[in-house]
Structure 1
Amino acid sequence: MVDAHQTFVIVGAGLAGAKAAETLRAEGFTGRVILIGDERDHPYERPPLSKGFLNGSAERDSVFVEPAAWYAEHDVELHLGQPVVHLDRAARTVGLGDGTVLQYDKLLLATGAEPRRLDIPGTDLAGVHHLRRLAHAERLKHVLTSLGRENGHLVIAGAGWIGLEVAAAARGYGAEVTVVEPEPTALHGVLGPEIGSVFTDLHTEHGVRFHFGSRLTEITGQDGMVLAAVTDDGTEHPAHDVLAAIGAAPRTALAEAAGLVLADRAQGGGIAVDASLRTSDPDIFAAGDVANAENPLLGGRLRVEHWANALNGGPAAARAMLGRQVSYDRVPYFFSDQYDLGMEFSGHAAPGTYDQVVCRGDVGKRQFIAFWLREGRLLAGMNVNVWDVTEPVQNLIRDGRPVDPEALSDPAVPLASFLD
């Protein structure tokens, strides 16, 4: 039975918000828990939208965090299809789009991110897509099926994780795919040229065409439909559909209007929170894609847009809301599946922060582990078609001691031995 002595409101019914609600109940919180989402679907996980659900290997129902009945069974009040349009910190209320005003004692902002838009002519044409929500994935799945059946062309702006995963799904359906990317390799800004080229080669072998060093400048059409995508070097790429996969921006409008401190764009933007995920208002917390947190392990601010951050950040924020001691120092983690390549990435190695990349295993066969080092210390590691090494890789990152790069590259040397 709910004891209404306290009300905790969660704005954002994605993975972070749903996991926060779960944790509040699991930790014994008996007050009201109100979970608000601007989508009509129950909380779901986003990785399948560009992976299993999109490529047809997973059913729609597999994306949901919990069965629909779970929320009522655990006294979690759902307000779905309702945007929060106003946050009054002085009154400690949030206002919904339908005029409902809700009082809170503690508030969690898990508003996520939204896809960046192409600022070029032609984006109003039918056949221009983004991928962020379940509805986007459902529409895109139908499009890829049709393109494969009709030998149609998909142009993707951006060779990041979303762009490449959609490219793999599209090729699986038989669609023709061209990826336009301003950098010289796929995933250049994430993995650098050393490892980004591995993914370029992978997709090229599967029939994807890359156009590097260019940006889209126009999408042309006829009768409201896409005909081609034009790049800044004048090349016209035939296209029936175009996907904008040029990144995501944190949804900070509500926090900004309420006067909460935001992180600098140079630090990734988002809502600035401390290591306990508390904002500049002691009664308001933030988690997931929108939160830019002080990470005690990494020694600086970081905003992470990946599944594991929502999975772990929501529960951490919930415990902090309950007054528990929280220091959110998770090693960033994400994964990707493309064709027959599976990978896991742990850590953070932004371009310019590392001075060496070391690999162990067979890069040519795409069975290897890559390590990003700075002055011998491990910043990040990525295992490609090599499994059960995430824990030792993360332990090495946490340890922080310099390691011998030559020994690190030797598969005969156990990773655990570097921690002895």
Structure 2
Amino acid sequence: MAGGSDVAEATLSCAQCGKPAHLQCPKCVELKLPREDGAFCTQECFKASWSSHKSVHLKAKLSTLGTAEPLGNGWQYCLKKGERRTPKLPHFDWTGTLRPYPISGMRTVPSHIDQPDWAVDGIPKIEPNSDLQHVVEIKSPEQIERMRETCRIAREVLDAAARVIRPGVTTDEIDRVVHDATIAAGAYPSPLNYHFFPKSCCTSVNEVICHGIPDARKLEDGDIVNVDITVYYKGVHGDLNETFFVGNVDETSKQLVQCTYECLEKAISIVKPGVRFREIGEVINRHSSMSGFSVVKSYCGHGIGELFHCAPNIPHYGRNKAVGVMKAGQTFTIEPMINAGVWRDRMWPDGWTAVTADGKQSAQFEHTLLVTESGVEVLTARLPSSPDVFPWLKP
């Protein structure tokens, strides 16, 4: 705890282990917070508690913002990964024609819904320090069955979103549909307040690669929009996304979206025990390059289960350095992001929205997968009831 100050009396208990405390968190002192919340016996206890303790500082800051920077229900632009709002369009060297619009207040979740540990304060507690960030978990049959249930809910929620996509609909309205459908299924929308993300899904339009924040902009004829869904149910997460056409799109957009879909399908086709994780990127890179498109390198697929994100990392580009081989019982996502132009990305001032560096369009598709003894099970696969929105799937 760099800069820690001695506690004059040894009457306080360590907030981490309960032993007599001799050190005080300097940030708590600066914010004039109750001394018992920031007392620790050693540097080691302070470091061990930091991921959860820092939420005390955030709550104190939010309570002192007052009306100058309202975080509540008004429609304002997003800043600082969701922690702040501003009434004015932020200054930025925009790479394309798209601009952020104001966002609505955070939607609520009924108390009877089981919630992940970031739901209240925006800070994941278990995930960052879990051994599963380094070890790829082999799921038990009971975990796998819970994953199947959760992934089916995620699929049904995405299908509900797909049915409302048309010109004139705002991405905020898509988020409302996603939120309501998730709650109706008894699940929690995993992105909501995850590291302060302010909405229940990601909506990435045109040049947005990923993590677009649903806002007041109306979809326009010719747009493409990716909707990324993750739900939390029975203690596990299910994750998928698809890119949709809005009205009549140009030929390049059609080719880009179909190529991205095919990249995912080709990658899934090689999944089975014994295959190296790095091979996924080779397959995707080969197919996208043949179509004249590029593969985003800044974001990757990931392990998933009781944690939203964990090992393994699944790069989508060629010549990647991913380690390890697939084993039966592993669950992870593959989610290639393919750009019409260069692969490089930029980050908008909101701290979430990743866009193409040249302003050209980007598409993405994602599934949550289970490695089986003989191959792969697509846990988020399309259902017979899924809307018929992709021309290349029509008989």
- Scaled by the length of structure 1, the TM-score of the pair is 0.24
More strand by share: 1
- Scaled by the length of structure 2, the TM-score of the pair is 0.25
